[in-house]
Each structure stands twice: as structure tokens, then as C-alpha cells.
Amino acid sequence: MTNDGLVLALYMTTRDFAHVLFEGPLSPIDWGVKEVPGPKKSERCLESIVHLVRTHRPDVLVIEDYIDPRSHRSRRIRRLNASIQRWAEEHRLEIHRYSRTQVRETFEKFGALTKDQIAEAIAKYIPALEHRRPPIRRPWMSEDSRMGLFDATALAFAFYRFGPHDS
């Protein structure tokens, strides 16, 4: 895969998932956050992701590296990412995983290390996402669901930086 095709980056959270579809490193063409309340959340997330893939037909799927031993993601999110990877492989869709460490390395040159700093850097380079940037999170606040868009975008940036390979 060259960096010319469509890249769909996904980021799972406890309440929802975010997606960003890129046609080039600084060219998102679709994005959103899909809330999935209630029971069978993982199954319904996977169904929604399959629908996204069938609608947009990306060349590459990018997810967080759920196998990384430093990952602090819940068991449900790890299993969901594993299900996404299995589905992609069964359907011969190229899939890549990037760790939080690789995402941080991607943004080091911008002096951005925290999630808020990374979101700020992304908004600077992709003005279309600026209005979606959540306020800086305070210790007593839960994470704004819009942050998932920036987490998904950061995964796509890692793909464009590190190239098409698994971590």
C-alpha cells in the first residue's frame, strides 16, 4: 500500500467509537463519533464498522495496537479491536495497528505529548476538525466523546509517519 489510497482510522472508547477517513495525510473526507449504548455493545460496534467499511471501501484500516503490553485498554475494547482485525483479515482488508507510544513519537516534533496537546496539533494542521476539539480536560472531568476523533486521527497520522506495517 502506498499512502495514496483511502485510510479509515478507528478508535474505540467505552461509550462509542470514532472514525476518520483520509484520502491523504492532511485530507480527511469523512469523520464522526458513533455512540453505541445498551447491551451487546461490541457486536453493534462491529456491525457499524462493517457498514462504514462497506460504504467507504477504504484501502487500509488503522486501529490502536491492542496487543501492546503497555496498553491499558479494557478487556472489552481489546476484544473488539481483535474482532475488527479478524474481520478485516477475513475480508482481505489491509489493517495496521499503532501503539500509544508510536502516536506520541509521531507528535514529538510538534512538542505535543498529551492527548490535549496532540488534539491541538491536529486541529492546527486540519482546520476542518478545529471546531470539534473538546475543551482541555480537567482532572475531575470525564473525557469528552469528541476526543475519540482526535485519537482516531492521531492513529492515521502514525500510519502516514511509520508507513504501512504492523507494530
The rounded percent of the chain whose pLDDT value lies above 70 is 90
Supply the pLDDT for residue 166.
Answer: 45
What is the tens place of the pLDDT at every residue in 46-97? Answer: 999 999 999 999 999 999 998 877 777 888 899 999 999 999 999 999 999 9
- In this structure, the chain runs to a length of 167
Fold of 7-162: Nucleotidyltransferase; domain 5 (3.30.420)
What is the tens place of the pLDDT at every residue in 7-47? Answer: 999 999 888 899 999 999 889 999 999 988 888 989 999 99
Supply the pLDDT for residue 141.
Answer: 61
Provide the residue type at 25 as one letter. Answer: P
The rounded percent of the chain whose pLDDT value lies above 90 is 63
Residue pointed to by grid coordinates 477517513: 21
What is the tens place of the pLDDT at every residue in 121-154? Answer: 999 999 999 888 887 766 766 766 788 999 999 9
List the grid coordinates of 5: 489510497
Residues 28/129, Cβ–Cβ less than 8 Å? yes
Q: Within 13 Å of residue 34, how many CA atoms lie on the same side as its CB?
A: 20
Number of H helices, E strands in the chain: 5, 5
d(CA 72, CA 158): 19
Bridge partners (DSSP) of residue 31 are 20
In the chain, what are the domain boundaries?
7-162
d(CA 3, CA 24): 7
